Amino acid sequence: MKTIVDVENLCKNFEDTQVLNNINFKVVEGEFIAIMGQSGSGKSTLLYSISGMDRPTSGNVLFCGKDISKLDDEKMSEVRLMQMGFIFQHSYLLKNLSIRDNIILPGFKSGKLSREQVNQNAEALMVKTGIASVADHDIKMVSGGQLQRAAVCRALINQPDILFGDEPTGALNSSTTREVMDIINAVNTEGTTVIIVTHDAKVAARADRVIFLMDGNIHDELKLGKYDGDEKKKSYREKSLYEWLEKQGF
């Protein structure tokens, strides 16, 4: 199993406050990790530090064997655009552009794939996520669930090695959450590594491994193994996760 993310002695301070306190962990290719913890425990800061959106104060972040914590801003943006995909609580799609154009834009910007490949990839992603019928719609004309599915397509347009999400279902209702998570699980099954922050145990129960952060430290982790969509196993996973979270005082 090849390591894709290797975090070594990661510390992050904001002025005098130490927000991440010597974090060490590895993620192997194809893994799906969920990061949980109380509000303010450092989940977003950890995600941003390992995805090059923010720089660690000290420590190393190896991504595909390369230390990205020392890259200059330009090189870092290139790694993010070419190899990483991001989803947030809100879709941050551009107004006055259609759903399709929002999805295609980072594909044209990166130049990783030919324009034809980008177009084909966009169509395939929209079909897969069930938004092909609204491809030409303005973003103001579609539902919140459709917007978030479009955000997933946009994150995947450059066929990234890893997909990061910070509370990607945080603004969705439970049925839309399930739909978006089915898509994320399918993307993971096809081989894309996934790391998401969530406060929703039902979402985290779909991950291979759950990491619990407390005061900027990894307090504990729970291995659940690959999720296969089986409803019975799903309730068992959720039950084990609830029990474990209770032990963490969550």
Residues near ligand ADP (CB under 6 A): 14, 19, 37, 39-45
Residue 209 interacts with which of ligand ADP, Mg ion, none, CB < 5 to 8 Å by class: none
**Residue sitting closest to Mg ion (CB):** 44
31 by DSSP, 3-state: which? Answer: coil
> Would you say 19 or 125 has its CB closer to ligand ADP?
19
84-87 and 66-67: which strand pairing?
A: unpaired
> Would you say 43 or 154 has its CB closer to Mg ion?
43
d(CA 108, CA 116): 10
Smallest gap from Cβ 10 to ligand ADP, in A, equals 13
Residue 96 interacts with which of ligand ADP, Mg ion, none, CB < 5 to 8 Å by class: none
> Would you say 15 or 231 has its CB closer to ligand ADP?
15
Smallest gap from Cβ 216 to ligand ADP, in A, equals 7
Residue 100 interacts with which of ligand ADP, Mg ion, none, CB < 5 to 8 Å by class: none
Tell the burial category of 175 from Cβ atoms under 10 Å away from its Cβ (0-12, 13-18, 19+).
Answer: exposed
Smallest gap from Cβ 197 to Mg ion, in A, equals 6
Smallest gap from Cβ 38 to ligand ADP, in A, equals 7
Find out whether 87 and 165 touch, Cβ atoms under 8 Å: yes
Residue 42 interacts with which of ligand ADP, Mg ion, none, CB < 5 to 8 Å by class: ligand ADP
Residue 225 interacts with which of Mg ion, ligand ADP, none, CB < 5 to 8 Å by class: none
First to last CA, the chain: 32
d(CA 160, CA 162): 5
What does 116-166 look like in DSSP terms, one character per residue?
HHHHHHHHHHHHHTT-GGGTTSBGGGS-HHHHHHHHHHHHHTT--SEEEEE
> Would you say 41 or 185 has its CB closer to ligand ADP?
41
- Within 10 angstroms of residue 15's Cβ, the number of other Cβ atoms is 4
Q: Which residues of this chain interact with Mg ion, rule CB under 5 A?
A: 43-44
> Would you say 43 or 112 has its CB closer to ligand ADP?
43
| Sequence-ordered list of residues with C-beta below 8 angstroms from that of 172, at least 6 positions apart, any chain | 144, 145, 148, 180
> Would you say 146 or 198 has its CB closer to ligand ADP?
198
Residue 37 interacts with which of Mg ion, ligand ADP, none, CB < 5 to 8 Å by class: ligand ADP
